[in-house]
Structure 1
Amino acid sequence: MRLLIPALLALTFVGCSCQRSADDDGDNGRTPPAQAPAAQAAATPSAAQLRAQALEQRRLQAYNDAVGTLHLYLQRVGAGDRDAADKFWGYQRMPRSSEEGGLRALSNLRGLRIENRTPEPLDREPVPELLRIPVELRATLENGENRRYTGWYRLRRNQVEQRWELTGVLITAKLQ
């Protein structure tokens, strides 16, 4: 009886094939027709489409670079490193305390959470040179108190140094 069970199992799978046959597809072994040349040409982007894609990539990269600069600046402010933060400003300009809602004056800052929205171009260049970045900030003080701020920072691309720099700000404290 012990020999009979493996033999029956072996016979069960003898006629089984897990491979698809041409008949399963309903195409009776025919190969699919080659794509028409017009369809192949439509799948290949034109030179104008490639230029538009490259321009969009440059625009998105500019947005990312500007936001990255702003985040680095705010990290320096949050760390209390005012000298390093000041280097992010163009025109040798530092913000007045009232422009940043007193944010730079906080000496007992434990953490700063930064949330920004999509940068808004302030010029009509294909790749913006001047942006306003709306932000919401949450400062956590050493005593556990949270303060919220809302507003925007304005940045411009310095063409000589090829970097983004801050040129303006309007941040106000939100009442909780």
Structure 2
Amino acid sequence: MRRAILLLPLLFLHGCSCQQHPPVAGPTTRPDVAADADAVQPGDSPPTPPPTAAASTALSAVAADALDEPSVVHAYLSALAQGDLATADAQWTSGSPGGHPDDAALRALPDFRGLRIQTGAPIARDTAEPSRLREVPVQIRVSTGTNTLRFEGWYRLQPRVDGSGWEIHGASIQPVLN
């Protein structure tokens, strides 16, 4: 079991099957747009091409090489499971979750034996372009020495001041009763 806990960070660094990402939208065809170039009449403007991946990354609020929002949540929860509160706290705004974080029940658990994290696609919680406040839905299953506990909720993230990546701004994590 100790090997599983030691290997857990490697799964997060290299990707893991429990992590959900939104599907990448491919180019779409519209039936009202003609397929050949001869259909464009003089004076008409050509149809606008669909946005490319380069265009969508240009609208990012953080550096292109930064971890995405679900990966930041995974790194934070992995550090908690390993008992590394300094690394976990560094994921928060100001380097600390504050006096009484909304995931205090999760942070107070002793004896992590296993951890399963399932994240949803990040949701924009502001109207800025690009979004500067994202919410990552999360379902967490924690095995301790005595039982298995489930938690649900979300973590809100914002860009770091220097734009180098995302940091946790707030959380709402509650235990789920069976």
- Residue 91 of structure 1 aligns to a residue whose secondary structure is helix
Structure 2 residue aligned with 1:118: 121
Structure 1 residue aligned with 2:110: 107
**Larger RCO (CA within 8 A; separation ≥ 6):** 2
Structure 1 residue aligned with 2:56: 56
Structure 1 residue aligned with 2:172: 170
Using the alignment, how far apart are the partners of 2:154 and 2:106 within structure 1? Answer: 13
CA apart distance, 1:123: 1.6
Using the alignment, how far apart are the partners of 2:174 and 2:156 within structure 1? Answer: 15
Q: Is the 8 Å Cα contact of residues 101 and 149 (structure 1) preserved in structure 2?
A: no
Structure 2 residue aligned with 1:137: 140
- Cα distance change, pair 113–154 in 1 and its aligned pair in 2 (3 A): same
User: Cα RMSD (Å) of the superposition?
Assistant: 3.1
The residue identity in structure 2 corresponding to 1:55 is: A
- Cα distance change, pair 71–59 in 1 and its aligned pair in 2 (3 A): farther
Which is greater in Rg?
A: 1
The residue identity in structure 2 corresponding to 1:106 is: L
Structure 2 residue aligned with 1:66: 69
Unpaired runs of 5+ in structure 2?
Answer: 1-34, 40-45
Using the alignment, how far apart are the partners of 2:123 and 2:140 within structure 1? Answer: 18
Q: Is the 8 Å Cα contact of residues 93 and 169 (structure 2) preserved in structure 1?
A: yes
Structure 2 residue aligned with 1:76: 79
Superposed, 1:90-105 pairs within 5 Å as 90-95=93-98, 99-105=102-108
- Cα distance change, pair 56–161 in 1 and its aligned pair in 2 (3 A): closer
Indicate which of 154, 157, 166 corresponds to 1:155.
157
Number of aligned pairs? 135
- Cα distance change, pair 140–82 in 1 and its aligned pair in 2 (3 A): same
The residue identity in structure 1 corresponding to 2:56 is: E
The residue identity in structure 1 corresponding to 2:55 is: L
Q: Is the 8 Å Cα contact of residues 147 and 173 (structure 1) preserved in structure 2?
A: yes
Using the alignment, how far apart are the partners of 1:114 and 1:161 within structure 2? Answer: 26
CA apart distance, 1:113: 0.6
Q: Is the 8 Å Cα contact of residues 113 and 138 (structure 1) preserved in structure 2?
A: yes
Superposed structure 1 runs of 4+ greater than 6 Å apart: 59-64
Q: Which has the higher helix share?
A: 1
Q: Is the 8 Å Cα contact of residues 92 and 169 (structure 2) preserved in structure 1?
A: yes
CA apart distance, 1:55: 3.2
- Residue 83 of structure 2 aligns to a residue whose secondary structure is coil
CA apart distance, 1:96: 5.1
CA apart distance, 1:104: 0.8
Q: Is the 8 Å Cα contact of residues 61 and 163 (structure 2) preserved in structure 1?
A: no
The residue identity in structure 2 corresponding to 1:160 is: D
- Cα distance change, pair 47–156 in 1 and its aligned pair in 2 (3 A): farther
- Residue 154 of structure 1 aligns to a residue whose secondary structure is strand
Structure 2 residue aligned with 1:24: none
CA apart distance, 1:86: 0.5
Q: Is the 8 Å Cα contact of residues 149 and 172 (structure 1) preserved in structure 2?
A: yes
